[in-house]
Amino acid sequence: MERKEIEKAYINKIKELRKHDEAYFAHDKPIISDKDYDAIKEKILELEKKYSFLKHKNSPSKKVGYEPSGKFKKIQHEVPMLSLANAFSTENIEDFLKKIKNFLNIKNSEEIVFSAEPKIDGISASLKYIDGIFTLGLSRGDGKTGEDITNNLKTIKDIPKKINKTNFPKILDVRGEVYISKSDFKKIDKKFANPRNAAGGSLRQKDPNETKKIPLKFVAYGFGTVQPKNFEKQSEYLKLLKEWGFNTNLHNKLVRTIKDIEKNHKKVEEQRSSIDYDLDGLVYKVDNLKLQNRLGFVSNSPRWAIAHKFSAEKGFSIIKNIEIQVGRTGALTPVAKIESVNIGGVVVSNATLHNEDEIMRKDIRIGDIVCVQRAGDVIPQVLYVNKDKRNKNTKKFNFPEKCPSCGSKTIKEFNYTTKKKDAVTRCPDLKFNCKEILREKLKHFVSKDALNIDGFGKKIIQNFWDLNLIKYPADIFELNFEKISLLDGWGELSASNLKESIKKSQETSIDKLIFALGIRHIGQENAKTLAKYFVNIKKFEELLDKDKRKKILNYLLELDGIGETQTNSLEIFFSNSNNLSTVSSLIKKLNIADYKNSKSGIFYGKTIMFTGGLTKMSRAEAKALVEKEGGKILGTPSKKLNYLVVGDSKPTSKKIEKAKKLNIKILDETSWYGLLNRRTSIN
Ligand code: IVH
């Protein structure tokens, strides 16, 4: 069959299914039997499996997946459902501990108690109880907005529908994991690849009777809104959950030291295969909820918790070649091309060698037999060389001195924080025209945290790049979809899907745009800080004007988190004519929303600066508090400053003098805590 005919047949099946969906769900009057309905569904899935270019928003494969399908009502989580940062090693855990202690400004010798809980690989859900009645069940969705899957969750036996306990809060969002046991998974239909997919798929069935057919389980571990809060520790809450009739994990435990953590991790990992559900690690949460509250969040994950993954899987292979990839920031990364090897169910044929130093330290050569490790979704890496099996004729690998893409002489930058030369070799790309860097920037531009163009993955960028269809971001909005539909591997349907995704991405916001530009040293957090300053795109465009830019960059230096590294990088970026035209033509293609600042909080519209160390909290915590309360942090005193907070430990007298001259309100530590009115929670 020709491609066009296949697409036609596919669309017809989708239309047919839609018709029956409408009859069944909207009018409650099915026209065909369940069996015939399933046959249409099967046919669609079969076609999609056979022809990977087939895709449609109304396909049943999409609707069982996790993407918002419009099938369920979307509801905002009162308290966002966050994700967790990962730790793969003891060092990662030590780092996590250190960061917590620094943030809380407590001594290294002081102990912090953690609740260590198995991380079940299932689907998280949030269950709202009002006066003890289960009233609303939401999926995680994107963490901010979930889908109303109450009726499906109600089919799960483990979820109490009514709780008659006097100590049960008036309002409580119970959070936990919906999963399917390994043994139950074996018993059900082979429709799903793994237990997690099975749980996700059945939770998102339109018909709760379908959900009911699959033996789902629920284990509780967290909370969102609680009123009133009658517990002070995570461990206390876990105990209460049990009392209220929820399942909690049998392997939950309190741990205090790194030694404890390691011992427990090892123990659970050893039991892993005999536990009847998929576990991918342990979660550690600071047990004390007041401390959790103080620690707060960074981007999408809490500072007070981490997922300690189980050890990675390893395999051996031979290095066929070492290629140098040039990244978006010009970093040259050596990648080992290895003979394909199956490591823990995933076929691996590339492994990163990180940088030149790493190759030298491990003495990695083409032709070597190496041990490769794959951990979770991180890029596989070469651990070590089996030198006994080394061929005598192998030669040391010479790291290129020139960028393989543009031929520029490579550099190693000096890192002012570590006071050392960077390990990374870079293409300086002085003219912003290194081809590989441009291409990698496009990949960054379409990625999730940037413009988030659904379905426009790295492969498609590469494909369009090779065909000279795109070079700069604005080109994406000039694509000719009629021509694309005629390309090898494309059709009308896939082209129109892409067109729709691109159109959707044109509605964006200033913070996303700034991040999407891929300016060096301007990551997600800094992009937000800048967006907060510029608020709208008009103001941001002033950066394109040389004279205005000078003034703006000077002011930006006052913002916390923005230093000379960032302003220099902005200057270099915007003084290049190539970049100026890239940015201005891009802005014309987009509809850019202003930055949404929280218009509430005790510091709303105020600027605050700190000098000297505080005794009861770290600078990082103070900063986070100000931002949470709608305020901005400045790094130097100016007329725009509202408060200067002078900490007890080594304040800079120059700054105080200047603030005094400018008539700025000066607060000592006690008045600062008074202003926060949270003295009790710090003590
Ligand atoms: S706590 C802010 N506890 O892991 C805290 N999560 O990557 C976030 N998960 O979406 C969740 N077991 O699906 C927490 N004991 C546990 C967990 C757990 C499994 C999953 C959950 C979450 C993901 C976070």
- Per DSSP, 410 falls in state P
| Domain shared by 346 and 485, yes or no | no
Ligand 1 centroid–CA 286 distance in Å is 14
Write down which residue in 505, 520, 553 finishes a domain. 505
Helices and strands in the chain: count of H runs, count of E runs: 26, 27
Sign of CA dihedral 237, 243, 248, 253: positive
Residue 600 lies in a domain: no
CATH of the domain at 362: 2.40.50.140
| Domain shared by 501 and 531, yes or no | no
The pTM of the full predicted model, rounded to 2 decimals, is 0.65
Closest Cα partner for 10 from 498, 503, 491? 491
**pLDDT of amino acid 628:** 83
Q: Which of 63, 119, 285, 443 is catalytic?
A: 119
User: Which residue among 86, 96, 119 has the greatest number of ligand 1 atoms within 8 angstroms of its CB, and so is best to mutate?
Assistant: 119
pLDDT tens, position by position, 152-163: 999 999 999 999
**pLDDT of amino acid 681:** 45
User: Which residue among 221, 254, 293, 298 has the greatest number of ligand 1 atoms within 8 angstroms of its CB, and so is best to mutate?
Assistant: 221
pLDDT tens, position by position, 338-353: 999 888 667 889 999 9
| Residue 563 CB less than 6 A away from ligand 1 | no
**pLDDT of amino acid 311:** 76
| Domain shared by 586 and 633, yes or no | no
411's tokens: 């550099």
| Domain shared by 133 and 268, yes or no | yes
| Domain shared by 126 and 266, yes or no | yes
| Domain shared by 185 and 330, yes or no | no
Q: How far apart are CA 143 and CA 518, in angstroms?
A: 25
Closest Cα partner for 609 from 670, 525, 666, 671? 666
Q: How many domains does the chain have?
A: 6
pLDDT tens, position by position, 405-458: 999 999 999 887 788 899 999 999 999 999 999 999 999 999 988 999 988 999
659's tokens: 């603030």
| Residue 620 CB less than 6 A away from ligand 1 | no
Ligand 1 centroid–CA 175 distance in Å is 9
Average pLDDT over residues 494-519: 95
| Domain shared by 168 and 292, yes or no | yes
More confident residue, 59 or 150: 150
pLDDT tens, position by position, 9-48: 898 998 888 888 776 655 556 677 767 877 888 888 888 8
The kind and range of the H/E element at 172 are strand 171-179
Atom of ligand 1 nearest to the CA of 307: 7
| Residue 461 CB less than 6 A away from ligand 1 | no
Residue 18 lies in domain: 1-71
Nearest CA to ligand 1 atom 6: 119
pLDDT tens, position by position, 258-273: 999 999 999 999 898 8
Annotation says 119 is catalytic: yes
45's tokens: 């899935």
Q: Is the peptide bond before 228 cis (omega within 30 degrees of 0)?
A: yes
Asked if 553 and 568 count as a contact pair (C-beta separation under 8 A), the reply is no
Asked if 613 and 648 count as a contact pair (C-beta separation under 8 A), the reply is yes
| Domain shared by 275 and 191, yes or no | yes
Write down which residue in 71, 104, 120 finishes a domain. 71
Q: State the pLDDT confidence band at 678, using cuts at 50, 70 and 90.
A: low
| Domain shared by 486 and 563, yes or no | no
If DSSP codes are grouped into helix, strand and coil, which group holds residue 474? helix
| Domain shared by 217 and 205, yes or no | yes
Residue 664 lies in a domain: yes
CATH of the domain at 66: 1.10.287.610
| Residue 177 CB less than 6 A away from ligand 1 | yes
Q: Are strands 507-509 and 591-593 parallel, antiparallel or unpaired?
A: parallel
Flag whether pLDDT at 679 surpasses 60.
no
Flag whether pLDDT at 657 surpasses 90.
yes
| Domain shared by 294 and 327, yes or no | no
Average pLDDT over residues 508-532: 94
The kind and range of the H/E element at 358 are helix 356-362
More confident residue, 293 or 681: 293
Residue 430 lies in a domain: no
Flag whether pLDDT at 68 surpasses 50.
no
CATH of the domain at 247: 3.30.470.30
| Domain shared by 645 and 570, yes or no | no
Ligand 1 centroid–CA 312 distance in Å is 20
Asked if 121 and 196 count as a contact pair (C-beta separation under 8 A), the reply is yes
Ligand 1 centroid–CA 509 distance in Å is 29
Amino acid at 541: E
CATH of the domain at 589: 1.10.150.20
| Residue 283 CB less than 6 A away from ligand 1 | yes
Average pLDDT over residues 653-673: 91
CATH of the domain at 662: 3.40.50.10190
